[in-house]
Amino acid sequence: MRVAPPDTLWRVSFVLSHAGDAVRLAFEMFWAVLWPLALGFLLSAIVETFVSKQAISRFLGRGGVRPVALATAFGAASSSCSYAAVAVGRTLFRKGATLSNAIIFEFASTNLVFELGLALLVLLGWQFLAAEFAGGLFMVVLLALVFRATLTPRLTESARVQAERGLLGRMEGHGAMDMSVTGGSLWQRIRAPQALTSMSHYFFMNVYGLWVDLVLGFLIAGAIGAWVPAAFWSHLFLGGNGFGPEVWSAFIGPLVALLSYVCSVGNVPLAAILWRNGIGFSGAIAFVFGDLIIIPILNIYRKYYGARVAAYLTAVSYVTMVAAGLAVGALFIALGWVPGNRNVAAFSTSIAWDSTTFLDIAVLVVIALLLVRFLRTGGVAMLRMMDMPSDHMAHHADSATDHASSS
C-alpha cells in the first residue's frame, strides 16, 4: 500500500486541526455584519417596492449626464447579487435603456448598495466605506466616458440582437419580475396591503440571490485566515508596502476576484482577509469592484450579448476597476486616510452580549415578521421561479397582489 509522504500528512493534519478556527472566524464575521446586511436588504426592498423597472427603463433610454446619474442612483438603491444585477441590466436594455446605462446600473447595483457599504464599515472601517463610495462614483464616470468613446453602434446592435434571443443566465426571474406598487399618492401606496407583500418578497428575493455568495465568502475567508500562511501573501503582494506593491495590488485585485467565484457582499470578508495579509489599499478596493468579472458572470455576458460584446465588457470593466482602485488609493494615501492597522474589526470581533448581538436579535425579529408575510403571500412559489425564463414571470406580480388583498 502506498504511504503518503510526511509533508502531505502534515498538511492534512494542519487543515483538520484548524478547521474549527476557520468556521469560528467565518461565523464571527457573519455575526458582526448580520444587522447591517439585513438593514441594507430592507432599505433596498423598500426602494424597489415603490420604483418600478418600467419607470427606470424610461429614464435610462438616452445618453447624457442625467441618465447616467439616474442609472447610478437607481442601481445604488436596488440591491442585487451580481447575477441578478446582470439579469436586471439585460431586462432594462430590452425595455429601452441604452447598453451603457444598463451596465452602469449593474455596477451601481453591486458596488454602491446599502448592505455592501455597511458591511465594509463594520468589518474594515470607515476608510474602506469612503473609498468604496468614492471609487464607485469614479468608476461610473470613467465607464460613461469609455462607453461614449468606444461603444460603437455596431456593437450595440449586436448586443441587442443577442439579448432579444432571451438565452438563460441566472436569476432570470429577478430580472424580469416587477412587484412595485404603483398608482395613487405615495402615502396611499405605503398604506396599501400590497406594499408590505412586495417588501417581503423583494427582501427574500435579494437574500435568496445572495446567500450562496455570502456563505462562500465567509467560509472561504475563514479558511484562508486559518490555513494560508502569511509568507504566501507576502510573496503574492510583493511585501505590501511602497509604490510598486500598491500598483501591483490594484492590477491583481480584480484577477483574484475573477477566480474566487464570489460576488457582491460576499467579497467583503475576503477583502478583509486580503487586507490583513498585505494587499495594498488600492488592491483591496479594486478587488471589491471585481464582482462583475467572475468567470460565471463573463459566461452570462456571452449568452446575453454575444462573445464580442462580452470580451469588450470584460476589458472595459477590468480597466475601470484597476483605474478606480489606483485613483482612490492615491487620493487616500495623499490624505493620510489609509488605515495603518491591518488587524481590523473583522479579526477582533467575538460574540458577546453587546450592542451587535442586540441589534442582530432585533433584525432577526423583523426578518421573522417579514417571513410570515412572505409565506402567506406565495413567496415560496416566487422563489422557485427565479431561474425560469422571463415569460413565466409575467403574472406573478398580479398573483402577489391578489394574495395581499385577501390577507
Give the residue-averaged pLDDT of 188-210. 87
Higher pLDDT, 283 or 5: 283
pLDDT of residue 312: 97
The rounded radius of gyration (Å) of the Cα atoms in the chain is 22
Res. 171 pLDDT band, cuts 50 70 90: low
User: Dihedral of the CA atoms 95, 101, 103, 107 (nearest 10)?
Assistant: -120
Least confident of 214-228, 332-346, 354-368: 214-228
pLDDT digits (tens, 9 = 90+) for 236-255: 888 767 889 999 999 999 99
Res. 10 pLDDT band, cuts 50 70 90: very low
Res. 390 pLDDT band, cuts 50 70 90: low
Task: Indicate if the alpha-carbon torsion angle 309, 310, 315, 317 is positive or negative.
Answer: positive
Residue 4 pLDDT exceeds 70: no
Considering 28-42, 209-223, 298-312, the range whose residues carry the highest mean pLDDT is 298-312
3-state helix, strand, coil in the chain (%, to 5): 80, 0, 20
pLDDT digits (tens, 9 = 90+) for 58-97: 777 777 888 899 888 888 877 667 777 888 888 889 888 8
Hunting for cell 463573463 — which residue is that? 298
Residue 266 pLDDT exceeds 60: yes
pLDDT of residue 199: 92
pLDDT of residue 17: 52
pLDDT of residue 80: 61
Is residue 45 within 8 Å of 202, Cβ to Cβ? yes
Res. 103 pLDDT band, cuts 50 70 90: very high
Res. 3 pLDDT band, cuts 50 70 90: very low
Contacts of 111 (CB under 8 A, 6+ apart): 132, 136, 139, 288, 289, 291
pLDDT of residue 404: 46
pLDDT of residue 11: 52
pLDDT of residue 7: 54
pLDDT of residue 284: 93
Residue 204 pLDDT exceeds 80: yes
Residue 364 pLDDT exceeds 90: yes
Q: Which of 152, 44, 120, 39 is nearest to 88 (CA)?
A: 44
Q: What percent of the chain has pLDDT over 70?
A: 85
Report the distance separating Cα 86 and Cα 106, nearest Å. 6
pTM beyond 0.85, yes or no = no
pLDDT of residue 215: 83
